[in-house]
Amino acid sequence: MTLKELEKAAEQGDAKAQYELGRCYDAGDKVPKDNAIAAKWYAKAAEQGHTKAQFNLGCCYDYGEGVEQDYTKAMKWYTKAAENGDAYAQYNLGNFYYNGKGVTQNYTEAVKWYTKAAESGAAKAQNDLGICYKEGRGVIQNYTEAVKWYTKAAEQGYTIAQFNLGCCYNCGEGVEQDYTKAMKWYTKAAENGDDSAQYNLGNFYYTGEHIQQNYTEAVKWYTKAAENGFYLSQFRLGMCYYNGEGVEQDYTKAVEWFTEAAKQGYAEAQFNLALCYSVGWGVKKDDTLAVKWYTKAAENGNATAQYNLAVCYDNGFGVSKDYAMAAQWYKKSAEQGYAKAQVNLGNCYCDGEGVEQNYTEAVKWYTKAAEQGNADAQNNLGHCYHNGYGIEQNFIEAIKWFTKAAEQGHTKAQQNLDTCYVYIHIPDEI
């Protein structure tokens, strides 16, 4: 049918012609592209019950193409098309209910429409229905059903489903754990460009837990995901360059990838980048930049970064010396169980640096670190028991903690222990 014939039929009210003419304007086929005219003809066909036109008109309102964006109207036309059996409309309608877009969020309704679309073979719907079963949203959680729908979508080549199915086999959710099948589906998804699959595949090759270890293959897959901006792969690739695993050791390259991941807010990368600036690995040593990145990592909750940042404030490395700030960051790290921070926080309370002197608090933090095996804390705790600082004087406890530290080669503890045995009578059993 020529354009003139199509226009004539459309003007005479032929719904199919109206739909086809709308498509012409939508795609710029035979006529200049014009979304507003496309929407006009879709509307005429949709009003006559043309299913594909209803769906396309729903899309126009959904994305604001040719009409003002209006999720309520999009919902109206998706619903009409969905009720007429259009799988794409059913899927989009499911998304509206799932995300609460233009309608009150309703996972049960989402599942209803995803199911209709999935049963018609729509791969995206099959995958999203699988997610609903996995998460227990709108249905009773059922990993087996999740795997069933992931498989249907994955076998159609839908990348996200291939990754999700790989995860199921990897973790043994809904299927018997099978690393070979996990590798199979991760590989398919990775070859289709899924960065999470590329990262997981890289981890398989890096750890060698379930396949033969191969750092070169790990680097290959980390690189693909890293180049797509996947921060975890950027970090892992940085570590490979840092350690010379699968590539020639190159601190400069390591810093480049740590930087990319750090910019995305990944705390471990921020910490490693700070460490590189602090020591001068791959970059010129710069304590100020080290503090910058330690701060970012510390604010993101990295306990080691919090400790290192505190050390910087404690000693004036890259920042003005500030005992109060040092104590603040030691405390944040200590509260996460980092032993070195606990002993230094104990020192702050013991010496009254950055905090009000408080021997009881000092003993509290020395104890936490000492129980983790920190020799400095064990020696300091022994000192507190020996002198009755912050706790009742107890020579037996003092000897106990001096001994633990001394057995680790702590020189001061060995000296303190010798002094105890010279001046204190110790029973045969402690």
Give the pLDDT confidence of 224-276 residue by residue, as tens digits. Answer: 999 999 999 999 999 999 999 999 999 999 999 999 999 999 999 999 999 99
Average pLDDT over residues 364-389: 96
Q: Give the DSSP H or E segment for 368.
A: helix 359-371
What does DSSP assign to residue 194?
Answer: -
Average pLDDT over residues 397-421: 92
Percent of the chain, pLDDT > 90?
94
- Residue 73 structure tokens: 């109207």
Q: Is the pLDDT of residue 428 over 60?
A: no
What confidence score (pLDDT) does residue 413 get?
Answer: 94
| DSSP per-residue string spanning 19-72 | HHHHHHHHHTSSS---HHHHHHHHHHHHHTT-HHHHHHHHHHHHHTSSS---HH
pLDDT band at 419 (very low <50, low <70, confident <90, very high): confident
Q: Judge whether 419 and 385 are in contact, CB under 8 Å.
A: no
Q: Judge whether 327 and 345 are in contact, CB under 8 Å.
A: yes
Alpha-carbon distance of 383 to 368, in angstroms, equals: 15
Residue 163: closest CA among 125, 189, 200 = 189
Tell me the per-residue pLDDT of 138-194, one tens digit each, with 9 for 90 and over. 999 999 999 999 999 999 999 999 999 999 999 999 999 999 999 999 999 999 999
Distances (CA, A) of 311 to 70, 151, 307, 342: 56, 52, 6, 13
Average pLDDT over residues 211-219: 95
What length is written for the chain?
430
What confidence score (pLDDT) does residue 373 get?
Answer: 97
Average pLDDT over residues 357-362: 96
What does pLDDT average to over the chain? 95
What confidence score (pLDDT) does residue 429 get?
Answer: 46
- Residue 276 structure tokens: 């590189």
What confidence score (pLDDT) does residue 40 get?
Answer: 96
Q: Judge whether 334 and 342 are in contact, CB under 8 Å.
A: yes
Percent of the chain, pLDDT > 70?
98
Q: Judge whether 45 and 55 are in contact, CB under 8 Å.
A: no
Alpha-carbon distance of 217 to 201, in angstroms, equals: 9
Average pLDDT over residues 308-324: 97
Within its chain, how far is the Cα of 250 from the centroid?
Answer: 26
Alpha-carbon distance of 218 to 47, in angstroms, equals: 56
Helix axes 107-119, 123-135, angle to 10 degrees: 140
List of domains in the chain: 1-84 (1.25.40.10), 265-372 (1.25.40.10), 382-430 (no CATH)
- Residue 413 structure tokens: 């503890």
Dihedrals φ, ψ of 164, to 5°? -60, -40
Tell me the per-residue pLDDT of 317-354, one tens digit each, with 9 for 90 and over. 999 999 999 999 999 999 999 999 999 999 999 999 99
- Most distant CA pair in the chain: distance in Å? 114
